[in-house]
Structure 1
Amino acid sequence: MKLETEILQADHGGYGRACAILVSGGLVSLPTETVYGLGGDARNDRAVARIFEAKGRPQFNPLIVHVPSAEVAKTYVEWSHEAEVLASAFWPGAMTLVLPIRSDAGISPLVSAGLSTLAIRVPAHPVAQELLEQFGGPVAAPSANPSGRISPTTAAHVLAGLNGRIEAVLDGGACDVGLESTIIGLADDAILLRPGGVPAEVIEAALQMKLRHHAEGAQLSAPGQMTSHYAPGAAVRLNAEVRMTGELMIGFGDVDCDLNLSAASDLTEAAANLFHHLHALDAKGATGIAVSPIPEVGLGLAINDRLRRAAAPRD
């Protein structure tokens, strides 16, 4: 059934309408500082199932639950010293923690894809914070795009992919970080499950220890680990020095290109622009997209992770 997707403003009426939709088991796309999420009540099996349906997302791929504070997070997961260190340093912010789920959490088992752990975070975006406070419950929210495609950083991106499949989009403007959250597993020792908006080096400094890294091809234990993911319609070629015939080019640094992630070689600026530029060239009908080399340091680790998945062979 095709829905009339509403565009809600971040005001009293918009928050009230968004909360009413979530309470009824509907889906609302909400802005976070990373990307727009596709939110549903994490306690409602039907709402969570609809998230998978709207995205066309495999149900073995777990979701992230969003809550307004660390104190609320503690009611859903088993807390640890490492969790306290990271939450104190980086929440609200672009970090997700994966911890053992509490037996009394009341979270739909669809959220964790049958795992004994839960991915949870406290977003920093004021619109997301206000909605979570007013709703008063946990919101499962993967990126608000068809599964495997480019993540959305504006309300327009959400509508381009999900219009007619969800009830509403709460418009909070463009996302500041533009790259999904870093995911840290803490069920055993600390492991980097997905690089993202907080660089691994900064996390290691806070924990005063080295992170293990998730092995490519290992069992999925967190969102964003699918081999082919974040993909535009066009084929993507990485580490390109020049564009080939028929390609459009995304540059980094002082290069000839169609769009530049950061002419000043600033990785923070590049992260914020990544999905926006992929969307823009995809909208131009590019058949091939070439991307300049990106340094494999700091946020470059997360940018290259997204680009490798965008360039991976598709099913």
Structure 2
Amino acid sequence: MTKKTQLITLTGEELIRNPEDPCPTTAYLATLSESGARTQRTALNNLAYMFSDGKIEDATKFPWHNLRYEHSNSLPAHMLEIGYAKASVNKHLVALRRVLAEAYRLELFVDHNDYYRAVSVRSLRHESIPRGRKLEQSELDALVRACLAQTKNPALATRDATIISVLYATGMRRQELVTLNLADFDAREGKLRLTGKGSKQREVFISEDVVSAIEAWLVHRGRQLGPLFTRISKSGKVSIKRLSAQAIYLILQTRQKQAGIAPFSPHDIRRTTITDMLSADVDVLTVSAIAGHASADTTRRYDKRGDESKREAAQKIQSPFKGH
């Protein structure tokens, strides 16, 4: 009989959190983007539920500073046993380490050794098939056509077509898109200034066609300072309020259905950009810089050229068996 792994949980008074203490959950989530905070809040709520044996569902009410090495070390095996994939376990471990780090910075740990031992649990080693898919050029064209077909609301049509064009032209993340301001657009030089992960800034160049698309949108938006991409009412009135990352998701989902193409995630456009650049023989270091990746290895993981390119590569080398 296989021995069942047991998660070591907090019990009794260990589960009591002083409401006057600063909250490490809130502190950690405040460092993340809107979409990142949404994902990690779910992970932290899951962890709070597991470590309290179902007694606490809200991570902000969980006493993270009471966790010790024996608790965190028992987590990976338990999560695997109840059906989590290794990648998901590792994401939860990242959330755990980060929230414990915030608890340590907030001086909630009485003994700093308890903190260092609790965060020392290692991530699981795994290799997974890359997620997501690459969009074909015909699909990108169909998306833009679906936008421009909305003639009753030309501002909305132009904005959405421009958003899709900018996402594909630059490979930027949707959070980077919604943080763009008008001042970040340099039409003369043909470039955009982005603020990426960790508040790191970079500049990406765009083609004349994309510059023209942004200029067409600005005819509707106007030239007042503020967010580059803004909200539009159903009546077609353009506001100066910033779009959210979730709004970009919903815009793309709507246009995907209108275009009649297979579902895709916003990040798949980023994957498509990176793949198409690599297919066009742009060197990986340049693509990595455009994408805002800290490592070229990360960029390579986005490559979705698939089996066809591998098959073609296999034909380009001479087999020593040939002629025998």
TM-score normalized by the length of structure 2: 0.25
* Greater RCO structure (CA 8 Å; 6+ sep): 1
Give the structure with higher Rg (CA). 2
